[in-house]
Amino acid sequence: MVLITLVSSDEQNFPVERELLKQSGTIETLIVNMNLDDEDTDAAAMPIPLPNVKGDVLEKVIQWMEHHKGDPVKEGDNEDNNAEIVVPQWDDDFFKPAMYGSKHLELTVAASYLDIKNLLTLSCKAISNTFKGKTGPQIREEWGVPNEFTPEEEEAIRKENEWSE
């Protein structure tokens, strides 16, 4: 089993099975560029730095990839049929403890940076699920976002949307 070492922004090392990393478009590109798949290259001696991902977030990403090992990897930028996407129970349980906090958002941004399409899709879907049936102020309160709008601006947005019949 070939192991490749990922190095987080806070310089933690994570030896990861080569096969798992096929889920990340960004790491896959780096592996190719660094010739880490060549038999002559000592992959273990060439760690891949990921300066945009902190250790605790990278650990969660690897945990997610381990569970999804063998899942088909999406190619290109094909759009999902958004209405049909359901967050599986395992992923829901995986996201839940960090939901409404910065950790889940950091995981989502890491999925975007590392180009792990399935993780990004499910993570974004899980975030959008928290908006359902909530008003703007309720979403802000749950996610701890301070209100940037004046009452006049909020009223203007409300009026723009109230125009039926």
- Rounded to a whole number of angstroms, the minimum distance from the CB of residue 133 to other proteins is 8
- Rounded to a whole number of angstroms, the minimum distance from the CB of residue 13 to other proteins is 22
Q: Give whichever of 13 and 129 is closer to other proteins, judged by the CB atom.
A: 129
The footprint of other proteins (CB under 8 A) covers 79, 82, 85, 102, 105-106, 108-109, 112, 120-121, 124-125, 127-129, 131-132, 134-137, 139-140, 143-146, 148-149, 154, 157-158, 160-161, 163-165
Count of alpha carbons within 13 angstroms of residue 163, beta-carbon side: 5
Q: How many CB atoms lie within 10 A of CB 56?
A: 13
- The residue length of the chain stands at 165
Q: Give whichever of 34 and 124 is closer to other proteins, judged by the CB atom.
A: 124
- Rounded to a whole number of angstroms, the minimum distance from the CB of residue 157 to other proteins is 5
Q: Give whichever of 5 and 9 is closer to other proteins, judged by the CB atom.
A: 9
Pull the structure tokens for residue 17. Answer: 């099975």
Q: Give whichever of 33 and 164 is closer to other proteins, judged by the CB atom.
A: 164
- Rounded to a whole number of angstroms, the minimum distance from the CB of residue 90 to other proteins is 19
The CA distances from residue 86 to 9, 28, 77, in Å, are: 32, 27, 19
Tally helices (H) and strands (E) across the chain.
Answer: 7, 3
Residue from 137, 139, 128, 113 nearest 53 by CA: 113
